[in-house]
A and B are shown apart, each in its own frame.
Chain A
Amino acid sequence: MTLPTRDDLIDLVYHEARVIDEGRFDEWLELWAADSYYWMPLDYQQEDPKNMTSLMYEDAFLRKLRVERLKGLRTFSQKPKSRCSHVLNRPSIEVFDEKTGQFVTRTAVHYVETRLDDQFLLAATVHHHFEMVEDELKIKLKRVDLLNCDAAFGNIQLFI
């Protein structure tokens, strides 16, 4: 099995954020392993994604649904479209286990989303869990913990 380098992990974190910021969402879908989840918990230090409400817990089908919806002619909340910008701290490598193939990074993120005259800022801690799929590094789990996960939000329409 080909193993990733530490830089490969860090590069993929930056690449993913850039792909989202540039609205290249079809490419974004390709960054994921087949059985993978994008998870945004609702509760601080939430353990269970299934039997409690989360803000997002999305498999490949639901991620594709979001991306296809963004292209739709009758996607009213995206007429006009939102734009976003990620500012990332350098990711730290939390797990790099060549034996079990587990690779995890932690990244502090400031996320800005805008539409019409509104713009908001969210701070988050993001954990990426990676796996090698046929010599390619893919995202297995992306966990986004919002600093103010218990606050009341308006629409958050893109991906942190």
Chain B
Amino acid sequence: MTMKYKDNPQAVADLVRPAEVHRDLYIDDEVFDLEMKHLFASTWVYVGHESQVPNAGDYFATEVAAQPILLARHTDGEVYVLHNRCPHKGTKIVIDRAGNTGKFFRCPYHAWSFRTNGKLLAIPLKKGYKDTGFEQSEAGQSGLPPVGAVKNYRGFIFVRMKQEGISFEDFFGGSLSSLDNMIDRSPVGKLEVAGPPLRYMHNCNWKMLVDNQTDTCHPMVAHESSAGTAVEIWESLEKDENTKTPMAMEVIAPFMSPYEFFEDMGIRTWPNGHGHTGVHHSIHSDYSAIPGYLEMMEEAYGEERAKAILGENRHNTVYFPNIMIKGPIQQLRVFIPLAANKTLVESYIFRLVGAPEMLLERTAMYNRLINAPTSIVGHDDLEMYERAQEGLHCQELEWVNVQRLYEEGEDLDLEAVENGTTERQMRNQFHAWKKFTVESMEAEARDLADA
């Protein structure tokens, strides 16, 4: 097979135009390999929350850039993020998703053992390596190697696979305000993962899911069958002034809000591909107050600050490349790319430490009603993605359009707030996609030339 994109940063750059992107971003295996190698290695990617590894020896296994990774809590209290691969023969050290390994990891194949910070501890029959030059080999030096860089941001752990690159602060900039708001909603400023995530397999490209997070023109169309039917049933029921709107209606009905609602909610974009819907209000704005919660927040933060924290109603915040959080309900979704046409979506919910459990009940309800493989909302989203994944194989049409409310000369390196139906955030993501992918490819080409 001839390689069209490998070692050709210009060809990759040409896939992204200001207001349209080439279909190969979604369907081409070679592009997928390049984005794993370059984009996902040079940006800051979310791997997990520290509450998933609370005690020394706890570990959590996941994937970043299509590579097996594990988080481990070391005896010094730090969370280490390591490559989940024995330096000897390649065996994955852990294969269950979470557990406790005690004081060290032990490879089940030949019993090489490693401290929970990844350092090599012992090898059986080590004398067999004497005078073989083993100390100079990769296996003799690496242990379970750490990833390039780790940042634990208020409990949320991100990694950059490359040793060198953009700093965490420069990469996320002002967008961290959404994570801050989600965490500040706990009176003690602390979140905990509550239970296992929903795991939903999508036969589509990961970017379709990320695009959809700020796509405010689809809910009233794709979700008419679920949200619209819910509204119809609710309206047909007999009610009096004492009838309380059930929590499920509060969760699902706003999906049927008219275009004006979404236009007015606003979209904010930040440099490097991050952005959020719901600048002024959102589908989470009109939830009933949970008894006692406001008082706890005022007690913890003072009246003014508590009001400011709870006054934010950000809808979906995309942290490029592949997570979305909902601050007001403490949900985080990870779009894990497995192949050009395969994405695993994991949807986590968090407990606000020190807040009433009823908040968690609403969040758990949102998660199962909207994002489960059994969700009547999720069903129609996945239907759209999979139809698009197949439709994009048409040779006649090569481009995917993201032109809504585009203006020539748009500067995506500036923070901006715009009409809530703009596709600026999608353009922002592709702009970042191109920047980080192409810069890394060019750097590799330079390194090769120097060598």
Contact A154 B194 (CB under 8 A): no
B180 located at the interface, meaning its Cβ lies under 8 Å from any Cβ of chain A in the complex: no
- What is the CA–CA distance of A40 and B374 in the complex, to the nearest angstrom? 9
Closest residue on chain B to residue A160 by CB atoms? B374
- What is the CA–CA distance of A68 and B198 in the complex, to the nearest angstrom? 25
Q: Which stretch from B148-156, B223-231, B397-405 is at the chain A interface?
A: B223-231
Contact A77 B382 (CB under 8 A): yes
B41 located at the interface, meaning its Cβ lies under 8 Å from any Cβ of chain A in the complex: no
Contact B225 A50 (CB under 8 A): no
A152 located at the interface, meaning its Cβ lies under 8 Å from any Cβ of chain B in the complex: yes
**Which of B224, B226, B368, B378 meets A65, CB within 8 Å?**
B226
A100 located at the interface, meaning its Cβ lies under 8 Å from any Cβ of chain B in the complex: no
How many inter-chain contacts with C-beta < 8 Å in the A-B complex? Answer: 111
Contact B229 A152 (CB under 8 A): no
- What is the CA–CA distance of A62 and B377 in the complex, to the nearest angstrom? 12
Contact B246 A69 (CB under 8 A): no
A7 located at the interface, meaning its Cβ lies under 8 Å from any Cβ of chain B in the complex: no
Contact B374 A154 (CB under 8 A): no
- What is the CA–CA distance of A55 and B379 in the complex, to the nearest angstrom? 13
Could you tell me how many residues of chain B have their Cβ less than 8 Å away from some Cβ of chain A?
Answer: 45
Could you tell me how many residues of chain A have their Cβ less than 8 Å away from some Cβ of chain B?
Answer: 33
Contact B360 A151 (CB under 8 A): no
B357 located at the interface, meaning its Cβ lies under 8 Å from any Cβ of chain A in the complex: yes
A57 located at the interface, meaning its Cβ lies under 8 Å from any Cβ of chain B in the complex: yes
Of the listed residues B194, B365, B376, B384, the one surrounded by the most CB atoms of chain A closer than 10 A to its CB is B376
- What is the CA–CA distance of A51 and B228 in the complex, to the nearest angstrom? 27
Complex interface bits, A37-60 against B, C-beta within 8 A gives 1, otherwise 0: 000101100000011111111010
Contact B195 A153 (CB under 8 A): no
Q: Which residues does chain A contribute within 8 Å of B234, judged by CB atoms? A: 61
**Which of B360, B361, B369, B379 meets A77, CB within 8 Å?**
B379
Q: Which residues does chain B contribute within 8 Å of A72, judged by CB atoms? A: 224-225, 229
Contact B380 A77 (CB under 8 A): yes
**Which of B195, B202, B224, B347 meets A52, CB within 8 Å?**
B195
- What is the CA–CA distance of A77 and B198 in the complex, to the nearest angstrom? 20
Closest residue on chain A to residue B381 by CB atoms? A77
- What is the CA–CA distance of A78 and B224 in the complex, to the nearest angstrom? 13
The answer to whether A68 and B233 touch (CB under 8 A), given A52-B194, A74-B224, is yes
Closest residue on chain A to residue B237 by CB atoms? A61
Contact A75 B194 (CB under 8 A): no
Contact A150 B233 (CB under 8 A): no
Closest residue on chain B to residue A52 by CB atoms? B195
B367 located at the interface, meaning its Cβ lies under 8 Å from any Cβ of chain A in the complex: yes
Contact A51 B361 (CB under 8 A): yes
Q: Which residues does chain B contribute within 8 Å of A150, judged by CB atoms? A: 97, 196, 199
Contact B374 A56 (CB under 8 A): yes
Contact A155 B379 (CB under 8 A): yes
- What is the CA–CA distance of A56 and B142 in the complex, to the nearest angstrom? 45
- What is the CA–CA distance of A108 and B372 in the complex, to the nearest angstrom? 23
Cβ distance B17 to chain A, nearest Cβ, rounded Å: 29
- What is the CA–CA distance of A64 and B357 in the complex, to the nearest angstrom? 27
**Which of A51, A57, A76, A156 meets B360, CB within 8 Å?**
A51
Q: Which residues does chain B contribute within 8 Å of A77, judged by CB atoms? A: 379-380, 382-383
Cβ distance B383 to chain A, nearest Cβ, rounded Å: 4
Q: Which residues does chain B contribute within 8 Å of A59, judged by CB atoms? A: 248
Contact A156 B383 (CB under 8 A): no
Cβ distance B396 to chain A, nearest Cβ, rounded Å: 23
Cβ distance B252 to chain A, nearest Cβ, rounded Å: 8
Q: Which residues does chain A contribute within 8 Å of B344, judged by CB atoms? A: 152
Closest residue on chain B to residue A51 by CB atoms? B360
Q: Which residues does chain A contribute within 8 Å of B165, judged by CB atoms? A: none
Cβ distance B259 to chain A, nearest Cβ, rounded Å: 17
Q: Which residues does chain B contribute within 8 Å of A57, judged by CB atoms? A: 365, 368
- What is the CA–CA distance of A65 and B369 in the complex, to the nearest angstrom? 11
- What is the CA–CA distance of A152 and B97 in the complex, to the nearest angstrom? 13
Q: Name 19 extra pairs, CB < 8 A, besides A53-B367, A76-B222.
A: A42-B195, A42-B368, A43-B196, A53-B197, A56-B374, A57-B365, A64-B233, A65-B229, A65-B230, A68-B233, A69-B229, A75-B225, A78-B225, A78-B379, A153-B200, A154-B373, A155-B382, A156-B374, A157-B379
Q: Closest 5 CB pairs between A and B?
A: A52-B195, A153-B373, A152-B199, A75-B225, A77-B379
5 residue pairs of the A-B complex, CB under 8 angstroms, read A54-B364, A56-B372, A76-B383, A153-B201, A157-B379
